[in-house]
Structure 1
Amino acid sequence: MNALSSIGFANLAAGALAALAVPIIVFYFLKLRRPKAEVPSLALWRRVVNDKRVNSPFQKFRRNLLLLLQLLLLLALMLAAMQPFLNAGSGRAEYRVLLIDTSASMAAIDATGQSRLDLAIEKAEEIIDGLLPGQQLAIVGFDRHARTMQEFTDNQNLLEPALKRLVTKDVESDLGDALRLAGALARTATVSEAILLTDGNLPPAEDVDLAFPVNYQRLPAAGDNVGVVALNARRSGTGGAQDAGWDLFVKLAASTPTGAVVELYGDDGPDGGQPLATESVGFSRADDSPRLVFEVSGDGPREVTVKVVAEGRDSLPADDAAALILPPPRPLTAFCPTSQSVFRKALTLDPGAVTLFPRPDDSGPPRYDLAFIDQPDSEENPAPDASVRVFVGIVPKDLQGLLETKVGYADVVDWRQTAPVLEHVQLREVQITEEPIYLEQPSGEPADASDLEQLGYEVLIDARTGPLMLRRREGSRVDYHLLFDPATSTLPYRVAFPILVQNLIREATRAASLSEVRAIKTGTLPPVDLGDPAREATVAGPDGSRTLNADGGGMLTAVPAETAGLYTVSAGGEEVASFTAGLLSPLETSLVGVEELEFNEVQVSVAGEEVVTDRPLWHWLAAGAFVLLLAEWWVFHRRPVV
């Protein structure tokens, strides 16, 4: 933008008010009507003659201060009506979009107690005050989602209240979503530029095509900050052992080299209890990420809170604490038919960690943690529901046109050792007497792994002629498909078999949050299984309660959690799940403002100067007219009456 360069007028037609000077002057041509009076001497006649001479047309204007003040008053009012302004050299932009960041870091407070959002609103008000007739502004607030606060208008009574509705949320920002919304607004008007007010703590938006220039106005940093960026707990025992404790892992981040004290609280929290443990940490540089470990006994608190207290000033309170709900210990529930004796034997190696079903006197829970199934899943005979299911010796129904198994010899040629279920599992020289085969397709070519991937399956173990083990995820559930029966192979006689079963137990334990739990980030809650597609659930959180419906699979998904705090999910009057959303993105905690924004083949740097708008002068002229009016009143009343 250029410096102020010239004076312009927004309403030149108002110059016609200058014609009002004619009647004002005409009034001064009118003769005065004087009363008759008797005088004792004719010496006064000379003064009367001189007074008539003064009332002649051109003599009347001499030394007439009232007429001058009235003409100046008319000039000031006329110029004010013409709405003069100092041209900022911005080309009198007709339509502009104001993008205001409302992510978590915009709540950072500087030494004066002002947040970054408050500062952004102040700058936005200055832009609004500089609007001239014909200039219109739209306001968009954005964090993880963008929203239109006000569409294009020049009405300050609409624009300024829209700014007051902006509030920060404890989530990271998505500039791409804001620019796409601004692009949608640009379809209704020709946008000359978008003014971006932010602290610069923005993730890349490289997939965005800019339809107009972006004026990147980065706000000054608020100051130092320390926060918790990761919190998880891992049970120190096996599965859900009753006497197993927890190891609590904490990760911190800071914006500058500093020090802090980390405090661990139990069920009463930081407001009502004493810390269970404290530890001091130091950051030698800003990109340090110290990791701490606290031990919590198995009979200890069910909810723990970690709070960090900075040695110096802390700008962002939202990331100073994170909470975690520790589930009560219980054995893993597993279903395994009696026909799968090799799996049942492996599951009973640690009887305290696994409760095995079916039992003669117990039909089992409605949902298991782990299930082994050797019958096809059908409407007449549905497979047991579980977080982790293992189908043994069955080709999935939707793959029967792509695969089949027959009696033969299959040897393992490859397996995905990075998959959790196959960690430390050695499958070389395992002999299998069931051979999977890819079937020929209508195109004349046999099916392959890409055909399976299109249906959502991953190949974990491969033989020469086809896959031996598949994995498929559906929501929070994972299904494994062993296309052969281990009883017809040498696998149960290998060390790999109990390791495979233990990996399945560990994955099911993790899915049931019995061995490991993680504090979740703000943004969206994890999926919750309601078990019925028609079931309603009530989600209560820091922002209030809302009623939501399960999807077609009975899952409650995409529940927003944009404010740090406790969220509970209830259905049918019973609590189904609870979560503590409190972790911010590490980018928000760092308070780092980028110098350059990356878009699709375009880079936008921080603007070298603040937004310069046309400066209206009419209010100064109106004030001058008022002063002239007072001066006229004073002169008129001060003039002596003869």
Structure 2
Amino acid sequence: MSFLAPLALLGAAILGPVIVAMYMLKLRREDRQVSSTFLWQRMVRDVEANAPWQRLRPNLLLLLQLLLLLLLVLALARPFFRTPGISGRNLILILDRSASMGATDGSPDRLSAARDLAVRLVDQLPDQGRATIIAAGGQMEVPASSTTDRRELHRAIQEIALRNGGGSDLSPALTLASALAAREDESEVAILSDGNVTLPPDLEVPARVRYFPVGRSGENVAISALALQPGPGGQTLFAQAINYGEQPATRRLDLYLDGELFNAYNLTLNPQQEQSIVTDIPASVQIVEARLNEGDGLVTDDRAWAVSTLGDETTVRVVGPGNRFLETALELLPGVKVLLAEPQATAFEQTAAQVPVTILDGVIPPVLPPGNLLFIAPPRSTDFFSVTGEIEFPSVHPAPGDEPLLRNVSLSEVSVLKAVRVVPGVWARVVIDSEPGPLLVAGESQGRRLAVLSFDLHQSDLPLQVAFPLLLSNLVSFLSPGSGAEASQLAPGQPLALQVDPAITEVRLTRPDGTQLSTQGGLLQSASLHIQDGQMVYADTDEMGVYTVEEFREGALQARHRYAVNLFAPGESQIAPQPDLAVPQTSGLQTTVARQREGRQEVWRWLAALALVVLLAEWLVYHKSGLAYLRERWRKARARL
């Protein structure tokens, strides 16, 4: 224990002897003659006790007054204990709520442990200290902003819930924290996470940053893939599990077909080993569920679903001079029908519901066709992007993190001879980058899904790589939401989108928990389910499982679509906590975030409260005889009534 104002302890050294001396010195009284001292024995004892410099007799008042003095002096000295915590007056607390924080090596999970730690950090703030709470993981939220109200901060922390979707990118949260810290002195940023996060590459935080790691174990076996494809005489199921831990693991994988147990497989996995299962199932099966039994550190990735797309077909229109690589790869994709159009085509009669995807290979017509678009080596600018020149021999840099368009795609051997320099709008995210400019961007604008590949396939060896059909399959799935096997698989938090014919009057959606939503009255309505520009969009897909979408025309069912939402995210399933995070700070002296920092827990309030209790006790003791007299008068008064 230490003191913030140790000089206050001198008060005890000065005032303590004074109080004792007052009890040792004799009070001056007048001498009076009495007939007898028999009834004055108590008075005589007081006189003897007050004789000058006599030995002190036990006196409760003296003890209480000395205790009161000691407590007051200690409170004025402001004692504190050093605890792992925060010492700044402006705390910016970033709490990771991504899927890996659901690991059960906390109390009961990592997020709960992080919430408890966050409450303790808030309680350790100095007087008039303020805090901002930022929930990271998925869409960033700020449940409490720069407030000194501890109750509000506690409520905001406890309301932070786990998010399965959106990944664990801390870039938005750290960017906001940097802006807040730059406005106030004595700011400190605290990161509560297991460390399995993505950090901004070019950001220096203008404040001290402290990382508080949460979690202990990294042992986890996850279902990493579950796919259902049309096969000979039925359907082919592919399932894969991987051991992300450092110890061998034995698990049982159960497969359920439309809710009934189909088969069970015993898996023995060495560290970082994967095991696959391929089996044929009947054509009538609509939903497949895989379950890993004997739960481990993270239960969220122990279940996965796949839905049948047998009979579903997506039409992809290709406008261009002809490209054998592109056309062959598209024809090999299951559930894809290729429609070729001449490069000089200017009119497109089909609606977006009939032809949801158009690939513009080296051409841009005067009027863009309806639906979602993939531009390959665009020759000129459009409303969505600008073409400003050419790039020669660009290097290929895939986007970091779990980019859905690069799932199972390796670009390490891909070379590009020449590409156009594309400057996209704010709608685009960079999927494949290079130093001179992006090579592949994707996003959504004006109700369309768009992707731009900036190089001609003939100017690259990409068509000769295994990565090409995988990348093309991911792009078609992204551009044709609601169609095909790949499109029926969504990541948590990924919007569910479906092209809807103008004749459709109602769309109903059933969530995995059975809740039904509708674009019209009669069922539970939701602002998150709506139709805009011929496309139905539903964004609240954080819950994993099967979502069912039904299209109605004047009350009659026209079509039914199913979507499986699964956590196939290695960045979340690798749950081993990281001991440190590297966050650059403007001081330049500290680039590695320390795990703990000593804070101060002051106890003067408790001492002051205890002193008040002692003062009350001293008053009661001093007035004991008077209080007894009053009690006796009260008793006699009640007796007369």
**What is the correspondence of 1:117-156 to structure 2 with a 5 Å cutoff?**
117-156=111-150
The code of the aligned residue for 1:519 comes to Q
**Amino acid corresponding to residue 613 of structure 1 in structure 2:** R
- The AA in structure 2 aligned to 1:382 is E
Alignment partner of 1:580 is 2:564 = yes
Equivalent in the alignment of 2:297: 315
CA-CA distance at 1:615 after TM superposition: 3.3
* Deviation (angstroms), 1:529: 1.9
Give the CA deviation at 1:97: 1.4
Letter paired with 1:192: S
Which of 267, 280, 296 is residue 281 of structure 1 equivalent to?
Answer: 267
Shift of 1:334: 9.2
Where does residue 594 of structure 1 map in the other structure? 578
Which residue of the partner structure matches residue 500 of structure 2?
A: 530
Distance 1:383 1:161, change over 3 A: closer
Amino acid at match of 2:266: S
Distance 1:326 1:191, change over 3 A: farther
Shift in Å, 1:165: 0.6
Q: 1:332 to 1:97 in 2, by over 3 A?
A: closer
Give the aligned partner of residue 169 of structure 2.
Answer: 174
Q: 1:618 aligns with which of 605, 627, 641?
A: 605
User: How far 1:223 sits from its partner (Å)?
Assistant: 5.6
Assess, with a 3 A threshold, how the Cα gap between structure 1 residues 263 and 103 changes in structure 2: closer, same or farther: same
Alpha-carbon shift at residue 323 of structure 1 (Å): 0.6
Q: TM-score, normalised by structure 1?
A: 0.62
One-letter identity of the residue aligned with 1:264: L
**Counterpart selection for 1:93 from 73, 88, 93:** 88
Question: Who wins on radius of gyration, i.e. which is larger?
Answer: 1
Show the 5 A alignment for 1:41-440.
Answer: 41-42=35-36, 63=57, 65-72=59-66, 74-75=68-69, 78-79=72-73, 82=76, 84-86=78-80, 88=82, 92-110=87-105, 114-171=108-165, 172-222=167-217, 224-237=219-232, 243-257=233-247, 258-268=249-259, 273-274=260-261, 276-285=262-271, 287-299=272-284, 301-310=285-294, 314-329=296-311, 370-373=338-341, 382-383=349-350, 385=352, 386-389=355-358, 396-397=365-366
Task: State the Cα distance separating 1:291 from its structure 2 match.
Answer: 2.4
Change (3 A) 1:566 1:611: farther
Report the alpha carbon displacement of residue 314 of structure 1 after superposing the two structures with TM: 0.9
Q: SS of the counterpart of 1:614?
A: strand
Q: How far 1:315 moved relative to its partner? A: 1.8
In the TM superposition, residue 622 of structure 1 has moved relative to its aligned partner by 2.9
Q: Return the alpha-carbon distance in structure 2 between the equivalents of residues 106 and 509 of structure 1.
A: 29
**Residues 247 and 296, structure 1, Cα contact 8 Å, conserved in 2:** yes
Larger mean CA deviation between 42-51 and 227-236 belongs to: 42-51
Describe the SS at the equivalent of 1:122. Answer: helix
Partner residue, 2:374? none
- Cα distance change, pair 267–532 in 1 and its aligned pair in 2 (3 A): same
Tell whether 2:577 aligns with 1:607: no
Report the alpha carbon displacement of residue 303 of structure 1 after superposing the two structures with TM. 0.5
Superposition deviation, residue 524 in structure 1: 0.9
Letter in 2 for 1:619: W
Partner Cα separation in structure 1 for residue 473 and residue 126 of structure 2: 69
Instruction: Quote the Cα distance in structure 2 between the aligned partners of 1:392 and 1:103.
Output: 39
Cα offset for 1:219? 1.9
Determine the structure 2 residue equivalent to 1:466: none
Q: Which range moved further: 147-156 or 86-95?
A: 86-95
Secondary structure of the residue that 1:563 maps to in structure 2? coil
Question: Which amino acid in 2 is paired with 1:278?
Answer: A
Residues 381-430 of structure 1: CA distance to partner in whole angstroms, max 9, x if unpaired? 73454135578999722699979xxxxxxxxxxxxxxxxxxxxxxxxxxx
The one-letter code matched in structure 1 to 2:572 is E
Please state whether the residue corresponding to 1:230 is helix, strand or coil. strand
1:80-125 deviations in Å (ceiling 9; x for gaps):
7648232649995211112221111111113x86211221222222
Give the match's secondary structure for 2:527.
strand
Which region of structure 1 is more displaced relative to structure 2, 565-574 or 219-228?
A: 565-574
Q: 1:576 offset after TM fit, Å?
A: 6.2
Task: Give the Cα–Cα distance (whole angstroms) in 2 for the partners of residues 534 and 190 of structure 1.
Answer: 58
Q: How far is 1:614 from its partner?
A: 2.9
For the residue of structure 2 that corresponds to 1:593, the secondary structure is coil
* Partner Cα separation in structure 2 for residue 191 and residue 542 of structure 1: 47
CA distance in 2, matches of 1:604, 1:507: 38
Structure 1: which amino acid aligns with 2:490? I
Superposed displacement of residue 199, structure 1: 1.6
Contact kept in structure 2, 1:84 and 1:617, CA below 8 Å: yes
Aligned to 1:561: 541
- Structure 1 residue identity aligned to 2:581: L
- Report the secondary structure of 1:256's partner residue: coil
Structure 1 contact 305–323 (Cα < 8 Å) conserved? yes
> Relative to 1, partners in 2 of residues 1:282 and 1:513: Cα closer, same or farther, differing over 3 Å?
farther
CA distance in 2, matches of 1:98, 1:318: 26
What is the CA deviation profile of residues 303-345 of structure 1, one whole-angstrom value per residue up to 9, with x for unaligned ones? 00111124xx512111110011112426777999xxxxxx9xx
| Partners of 1:335 and 1:95 in 2: CA distance | 56
Q: 1:60 to 1:515 in 2, by over 3 A?
A: closer
Distance 1:472 1:135 in 2: 43
Gaps of 5+ in 1: 238-242, 337-342, 355-367, 404-447, 457-470, 481-503
Against the structure 1 CA distance between its residues 303 and 11, is the aligned structure 2 distance closer, same or farther, given a 3 Å change threshold?
Answer: farther
Deviations 1:145-192 (A, max 9, x none): 322122223332222222211211113312212212222333553352
1:209 aligned partner, one-letter code: E
Check whether the contact 2:230–2:310 (CA below 8 A) recurs between aligned residues. Answer: no
SS at match of 1:588: helix
Classify the secondary structure of the residue corresponding to 2:571: helix
SS at match of 1:547: coil
Given that 1:96 and 1:194 are in contact with CA atoms closer than 8 Å, whether structure 2 keeps it comes out as yes
- TM-score, normalized by length of structure 2? 0.63
Q: What amino acid does structure 2 have at the position aligned with 1:324?
A: A
Residues 1:62 and 1:212: Cα distance change in structure 2 (over 3 Å): same
Residues 315 and 338, structure 2, Cα contact 8 Å, conserved in 1: yes
Cα 1:85/1:5, change in 2 over 3 Å: closer
- How far 1:220 sits from its partner (Å)? 3.3
What is the distance in 1 between the residues matched to 2:450 and 2:296?
41
The CA RMSD measured in Å over matched residues stands at 5.6
Residues 530 and 597 of structure 1, relative CA distance in 2, 3 Å threshold: farther
Instruction: List alignment gaps of at least 5 residues for structure 2.
Output: 319-323, 369-377, 382-417, 428-440, 454-471, 518-525, 630-641
- How far off is 1:593 after superposition? 2.2
Give the corresponding residue for 2:371: none
**Counterparts of 2:29 and 2:171, CA distance in 1:** 76
